[in-house]
Amino acid sequence: MDNDKKIGMFLGLAIGDALGAPLEFKAAPPSDKFLKKFTTGGVHNVSIGEWTDDTSMALAMAKSLIEKQSFDADDIMQKFCNWYLKGEYSTRGRCFDIGGTVAVALRSYSKTLDSDEYLHPYRGRTSKDTSGNGALMRMAPVIMIAKNSSHAVQLATQQTMLTHGSNLCIQYSIMLAEELYKGSTLAKYDNYKLPLDINTNDVMSGGFVKETYEAAWWAFSTTDSFEDCIIKAVNRGHDADTTGAVAGMIAGRFYGHENIPQYFKENLMWYKELLKTAKELSQTVFN
């Protein structure tokens, strides 16, 4: 994978997140009222180009991978907690958006930080009803430093289990990891995709990991540009920021950073910081 595709995957995550953020928890708008540019408002009253927890967690993980040049689960979880409890890696200096499954995992881990007894950092609950998309949404950093497809699967599984331990979460993380590493769909996972001719109103976009994976791949597979992909993804509403983040990763990986419209780069919050981090990560030699 060349560096332009790696950087595109990381920045695509943030751009899709920011485009979808004002639509989070809202019903899908009619096609003649699709959101096509960054805007303000929504449940979190976001500013132009402001992103949410998807990008904050990806940024925190990227910083750890760069600093440690390895997958250090404790360091990643400490950085996640620094975001959750102290507002690091956030545009507002505080955590203003977090999924329930992630919050439970980080609260559990944070209680061990001042303890003399070492407790493992893998805090993901295993029950099916915790199968949210909070690990899928932050996948890009580990794919960027994977040495091969098997390594991508290993790292994807590790980063998922930090906060999401259900079989479904791990399964969908593995599928997305393999496909992001390759840069396209894999035939062995065709049965997990939506029909391309599905009625748009039947494309679900909630917080369930299955729905996010399906909606993101549907948006990518039925468009032919980065811009059209993320627009189609986020305008399913509901968990729009995360569907946008996953679709943005897929499209960014395929089209590359250079083919992302300049508008989305210029108006993305912390663009220079995110680009600098992506470049550093893409050049990191992983131990």
Residue 142 pLDDT = 98
220 found inside a domain: yes
* Structural domains in the chain (count): 1
Q: Do the domain assignments include residue 205?
A: yes
Does pLDDT of 287 surpass 80? no
The CATH code of the domain that includes 134 is 1.10.4080.10
- Domain with 165, as residue range(s), is 3-29+47-282
**Does residue 46 sit in helix, strand or coil?**
strand
Instruction: Quote the CA–CA distance of 255 and 4 in Å, as a whole number.
Output: 9
Confidence at residue 186, expressed as pLDDT on a 0 to 100 scale? 98
Average pLDDT of the chain, as a whole number:
96
Count other C-beta atoms under 10 Å from residue 206's C-beta.
18
pLDDT per position as a tens digit, 111-135: 887 777 777 999 999 999 999 999 9
Greater confidence, 287 or 135? 135
- Give per-residue pLDDT as tens, 237-251: 999 999 999 999 999
Q: Where are the alpha helices (DSSP H) in the chain?
A: 3-20, 53-68, 73-86, 100-110, 140-144, 149-161, 167-182, 209-221, 226-234, 240-255, 262-266, 271-282
pLDDT of residue 66: 98
d(CA 213, CA 133): 8
284-to-9, 69, 146 alpha-carbon distances in Å: 16, 7, 10
Domain annotation covers residue 74: yes
Residue 125 bridge partners (DSSP): 164
Integer Cα distance of 86 and 44 in angstroms = 18
Q: Tell me what pLDDT residue 195 has.
A: 97
Residue type, 286: F
Confidence band (pLDDT; 50, 70, 90) for 56?
very high
The partner residues of 46 in beta bridges, in order of sequence, read 41
Query: What percentage of residues in the chain have a pLDDT greater than 90?
Result: 95
- In the structure, what pLDDT confidence band is assigned to residue 83 with cuts at 50, 70 and 90? very high
What's the confidence (pLDDT) of residue 90? 98
Burial of 166 from C-beta contacts in 10 A (0-12 / 13-18 / 19+): buried
Whether 227 maps to a domain, the answer reads: yes
Q: What is the pLDDT of residues 139-154, one digit of tens each?
A: 999 999 999 999 999 9
Residue 54 confidence class, pLDDT cut points 50, 70, 90 = very high
Name the percent of the chain lying above pLDDT 70: 99
pLDDT at 119: 78
Does a structural domain hold residue 34?
no
Angle at 258 between CA 173 and CA 28, to 5 degrees: 55
- pLDDT, position 273: 98
| Residue 247 placed within a domain | yes
Residue 141: its pLDDT value, please?
Answer: 98
Structure-model confidence comparison of residues 35 and 115, the more confident one: 35
Residue 40 forms part of a structural domain = no
Q: What are 199-238's pLDDT values in tens digits?
A: 999 999 999 999 999 999 999 999 999 999 999 999 999 9
Q: Is 3 exposed, middle or buried (0-12, 13-18, 19+ CB in 10 A)?
A: middle
Sign of the alpha-carbon torsion through 37, 261, 273, 6: positive
Q: Which two tokens stand for residue 189?
A: 């996972």
Whether the CA torsion 115, 64, 71, 174 is positive or negative: it is positive
pLDDT, residue 111, reads: 87
Q: Indicate whether 35 belongs to any domain.
A: no
Give the end-to-end CA distance of the chain in Å, rounded to a whole number: 18
* Residue 84, number of CB atoms within 10 A of its CB: 25
Question: Nearest-CA neighbor of 146 among 5, 286, 283, 2?
Answer: 286
